[in-house]
Amino acid sequence: MESGNTQTETKNTASDDKTMAIVAYLTIIGLIAAFIMNREKNDPFAAYHIKQSLGLTMCGVALFIVGLVPILGWIASFLGSIFLLYLWVMGLVNAINGKSQPVPLLGDKFEEWFKNI
């Protein structure tokens, strides 16, 4: 009976960690909530996706700032936003599938930049 109980607890913990990773991608509030919840649990899977989501959020802020520049900034911001949307979808799909795979091009940099989180 103990074995079944432990297996259920492990499955629930893995499910909670996956949920935290998914929530981190949904909104900025979700990112903050996942970050705060993970400070207690310190789960490596959730932390990995929190770092990826934080990096994507920072890129979004940078694109917003670039978009303030007329014409050239608007074009760069538009194209960058399309690419950022692609990266966001890739990160979310990886979190849903339970993979700790970095988003294309920038994911490894996010890991390097946010290694202390």
pTM for the model:
0.81
pLDDT of residue 92: 94
88 backbone dihedrals φ, ψ, rounded to 5°: -60, -45
Domain locations in the chain as residue ranges: 2-113
pLDDT of residue 117: 78
pLDDT of residue 13: 59
For residues 61-87, b (16+ Cβ closer than 10 Å) or e, as one string?
eebeebbeeeeeeeeebeebbeebeeb
Q: For tokens 């979190």, name the residue.
A: 95
Q: Which residues of the chain have pLDDT under 50?
A: 1-2, 6, 8
